[in-house]
Structure 1
Amino acid sequence: MAAANYLPSEDQFLCSICLDVFTDPVSTSCGHNFCKTCINEHWKTTDQYMCPMCKKVFNKRPELHINTFISEMVAQFRQSAQQKSSHSSSEQQVSKPGEVPCDICIGTKLKALKSCLVCLVSYCETHLEPHLTVSGLKRHQLIDPVENLEDRMCTKHDKPLELFCKTDQTCVCVLCSVLDHKTHEFVSLREEYEVKKEELGKTEAEIQQMIQEIKQSVDLSKENADRMTAEGVQIFTALKESVERGQTNLTNSIKEKQKATEKQAETFIKQLEQEISELKKRRTEVDQFSHSEDHMHLLQSVQSLKIHHPPPTKNWTDVSACPFYEGTLVAALTQMEETLSTEMRKLLEAEIKRVQQYAVDVTLDPHTANPSLILSADGKRVYHSDVTKTLPDNPERFSSHAWVSGKQSFSSSRFYCEVQVKGKTIWTLGVIRESSRRKGEITQSPKKGYWSIWKRNGNRYKALDDPSVHLSLQSQPQKVGVFVDYEEGLVSFYDVDAAALIYSFTGCSFTEKLYPFFGPGLNEGGRNSAPLILSPVRVK
């Protein structure tokens, strides 16, 4: 009775060929059992009839017989497993859209727990159990459930893609490595997975670093924008207040002048009215006496009243009741201009301080210097000599113009340097594109890869733009600051001591390396012998 209730383990019902529970189990004459289909297919691929288990060779194809005992036991086992599966199915989750379903479940598909890369089947918790308990199935590679497992089969050889060809950077099967990729280098998928995982980890770390840097850049940009906005609001508020104050002062001044004028006019009118009244009185008296026929009385009255002497009156020809307002308006505008100039200077001082934060240590490159130039040993000073040296005419050297470029090149971000031009009557400063012409006659302009300004004849300044622009400067710069914002496409020149903007090239398109370049100008018999000096930047 105990034997009747005994249910063998699943290991006893596995076909050694497909490693799955028997389907139509048959027995060979040597006593081993296989699925009918499995053993027939196996013998189709071999040249002789051999038992896959004991390797016994049969002279002719053996006659296969259904093993009824095994069939009954397998049926009983399947029924028991199905009942067990039905019971556990109620506890497992039904596969939802977007989730991988179990390939074995019949009817309601449960959610797959794992996919087998050997069987190319996805299993729910119940159907996965043999892979966790059966020794032969334990060797199979299980992964988190995935769809389209057939994509993991070699379409040419119908074998699992188990290897990675490093030469062709593709997944291959075992037959591919022997037939199609014979001389190539291979590793297991797991090994390549670990390598790629490590590379992706590094890439992810780099991307995270880039994201962090971009975020910091955005934060810095926002801080700069907020600071610029605050400074702009402060300056324009000051200007607005200055304009309103000037307008109020002008209005009050005009009103006061108008009141004084009206008061003065009233005084003038009273004086005129008195004079007119006196004149009318005299006129009446004169009329009265003019009609008298008493000669003596007329003469005595005229003598006593001095009618022949009219009352004194004021000379009104130079008197005006219209005040001069233009002087008041000019004074108000002058005051506003002074306020604007003061605020502009504050703004430029703040701007110069900002660009000075991007100061770089630039040194002169002797390989680019015109043979007539003399450079200091530290590469910080350059002046023109009347003696031309014999030097190699390398591509970087300026041959016809007395110029020299810096050693340092820039292809991103911002950079700034300061050049002392004190005591010089001629100089040229700017930046040059790496591929720009350096031999023969050179036209300085942005189209030719030159962004520069120069001084000539002691006090003439020009920006070599397209077209060139004559510059009218309030004072002659003693130290010039050169600032470049590569991404923004901006090249600006500043009078450092006067805190004034000399000129800006805007809307530039930079695609190559940029080099600062310097031209001290010809010696001119000693009149322009002072050197150009690359000065250390000192933030005020």
Structure 2
Amino acid sequence: MYGFKCIFLMKSRNPLISMGVLCFLSARRKAQFKKAWRDAPLYPGDPLVFAANVTLDEATAHPALLVSERGRRVTWQETCQDLPSSTQRFSSIPCVLGQLRINSGRAYWEVEVGDMQSWDLGICRDNVTRKGAFIMSPQNGFWAIRLYDGDYWALTSPETSLPLRERPLKVGIFLNYEAGDVSFYNMTDGSHIFTFPQNTFCGVLRPLFRLWSSDSGSLTICSAEGECTDVIHKPTLQVK
């Protein structure tokens, strides 16, 4: 009966009515698809993957990055802060790590990227190089994807081009430590972006975030409840 009514309305002579019904059905189908996708196990037959409570570790943030008070948003600023030197802090590449340390099990989090033009998202080993020049690749302990100047890449070696059907406004990151799987999803349309070839992880892994320039805007980590709002504050000079 519902389908019959929809067909009847879409054949209406009034184009506004037809367009409204089409938009309603499209939004309804997308909402149903996203709910089914979110509720489904990441791997067939496995338990559901629960969202991790990821916040940013201010002590690791490059001096050009501002971390919000609740640790869920990072923003680029033009002038680097005068912060104490620390072995934990990235000094050459504007990165920041998540507080979450993973050495077993599964974890999932979402990051709102909005209309930013450049960013890197993924995971890395806790003991990666943070000083001087280095290349982000699995060989160096980084598993990440990148948006740069409108093009998407997986940071394999060499890099892999990622042709996406729809620009993601929010990216989902899925990690299965024992299986050696890292996958990325476009949470705007629920599509798969990339899965790195199977790895054998050892040691602690942490969420990774990178900004590129003052045009990058902000990256915001969504809470486990799905909220993506936060406020910015200037970090203290205390070394954690």
TM-score by length of 2: 0.74
Structure 1: distance between partners of 2:204 and 2:163: 31
RMSD of equivalent CA atoms: 2.2
Aligned position for 2:166 = 475
Aligned residues of 1:480 and 1:494 also touching (Cα < 8 A)? yes
Answer yes or no: is 1:533 the counterpart of 2:220.
yes
Q: Give the distance between the partners of 2:35 and 2:144, measured in 1 at CA.
A: 20
Instruction: Kindly provide the amino acid, as one letter, of the partner of residue 480 in structure 1.
Output: V
Q: Name the CA distance, whole Å, in 1 between partners of 2:35 and 2:200.
A: 25
Residue identity matched to 1:404 = V
Residue 507 (str. 1) matches residue 219 (str. 2): no
CA distance in 1, matches of 2:96, 2:141: 15
Aligned amino acid, residue 477 of structure 1: P
Residue by residue over 1:248-287, the C-alpha shift from the partner in whole angstroms, topping out at 9 and shown as x without a partner, is: xxxxxxxxxxxxxxxxxxxxxxxxxxxxxxxxxxxxxxxx
Deviation at 1:468, TM superposition (A): 1.3
Which of 403, 418, 422 is 2:110 aligned to?
Answer: 418
After superposition, the Cα gap between the structure-2 partners of 1:387 and 1:496, relative to the gap in structure 1 and judged at 3 Å, is same
1:486 aligned to 154, 157, 177, which one?
177
User: Which residue type is aligned with residue 467 of structure 1?
Assistant: P
CA pair 452-348 structure 1, distance change in 2 beyond 3 A: farther
Q: Could you give the per-residue CA deviations for residues 161-205 of structure 1, whole angstroms, max 9, x where no partner exists?
A: xxxxxxxxxxxxxxxxxxxxxxxxxxxxxxxxxxxxxxxxxxxxx
8 Å CA contact 2:96–2:209 kept in 1: the answer is yes
- The 2-side partners of 1:352 and 1:394 are apart by 42
Q: Give structure 2 stretches of 5+ with no counterpart.
A: 1-28, 43-47, 227-240
Change in 2 beyond 3 A, CA 1:508/1:349: farther
Change (3 A) 1:488 1:425: same
State the partner residue of 1:404: 96
Aligned equivalent of 1:350:
37
State the TM-score, normalized to the length of structure 1.
0.34
**Structure with the larger helix share:** 1
In structure 2, what residue type is equivalent to 1:487?
E
Conservation of the 8 A alpha-carbon contact between 1:352 and 1:499: no
Corresponding residue for residue 440 of structure 1: 132
Q: 1:384 aligns with which of 69, 72, 76?
A: 76
How far 1:358 sits from its partner (Å)?
A: 2.0
Work out whether residues 427 and 521 of structure 1, in 8 Å CA contact, stay in contact via their aligned partners in 2: yes
CA distance in 1, matches of 2:35, 2:86: 41
Give the 3 Å change call, closer, same or farther, for CA 510–348 of structure 1 in structure 2. farther
- 1:260-339 to structure 2, matched below 5 A, reads none
Aligned equivalents of 1:383, 1:401: Cα separation in 2:
14
What is the aligned partner in structure 2 of residue 456 from structure 1? 148
* Paired AA for residue 395 in structure 1: T
How big is the shift at 1:347?
Answer: 10
The equivalent position to 2:59 in structure 1, one of 367, 371, 384, is: 367
DSSP-derived class of the 2:104 partner: coil
CA contact (8 A) 2:184 2:193 kept: yes
Q: Distance in 1 between matches of 2:148 and 2:205?
A: 25
In structure 2, what is the Cα distance between the partners aligned to 1:351 and 1:411? 24
Give the conservation status (yes or no) of the 8 Å contact 1:491–1:505: yes
The letter for the 1-side match of 2:41 is: R
- Structure 2 CA distance, aligned partners of 1:374 and 1:496? 25
Measure how far apart 1:519 and its partner are.
1.1
Distance 1:522 1:474, change over 3 A: same
Which of 394, 401, 412 is matched with 2:86 structurally?
Answer: 394
Q: What code does the residue aligned with 2:218 have? A: P
AA partner of residue 499 (structure 1): G
State the 1:392 CA deviation: 2.1
Alpha-carbon deviation of 1:479? 0.2
Q: 1:477/1:514 Cα in 2 relative to 1: closer, same or farther (>3 Å)?
A: same
Distance 1:353 1:521 in 2: 34
What CA deviation, in whole Å up to 9, does each residue of 1:64-109 have, x standing for no partner? xxxxxxxxxxxxxxxxxxxxxxxxxxxxxxxxxxxxxxxxxxxxxx
Identity of aligned residues (%): 34
- Once residues 91 and 36 of structure 2 are traced to their aligned partners in structure 1, the CA distance between those partners, rounded to angstroms, is 38
Give 1:435 deviation, angstroms: 1.7
Which residue identity does 2:100 align to in structure 1? Answer: Q
Distance in 2, matches of 1:505 and 1:352, equals 23
Q: Residues 349 and 480 of structure 1: is their aligned pair in 2 closer, same or farther, counting only changes over 3 Å?
A: farther
1:113-161 residue CA offsets vs partner (Å, 9 max, x unmatched)? xxxxxxxxxxxxxxxxxxxxxxxxxxxxxxxxxxxxxxxxxxxxxxxxx
Partner letter of residue 509 of structure 1? T
**In the TM superposition, what are the counterparts of 1:121-270 in structure 2 within 5 Å?**
none
Supply the distance in 1 between the matched residues of 2:132 and 2:50 (Cα, whole angstroms). 34
Say whether the 8 Å CA contact 2:54–2:223 is kept in structure 1.
no
Q: Give the secondary structure class of the aligned counterpart of 2:41.
A: helix
Q: Equivalents in 2 of 1:384, 1:351: separation in Å?
A: 31
Matched AA of 1:513:
V
In structure 2, what is the Cα distance between the partners aligned to 1:513 and 1:403? 18
Q: Which runs of 5+ in 1 are unaligned?
A: 1-341
Corresponding residue SS for 1:354: coil
1:451 Cα deviation after fit: 0.2
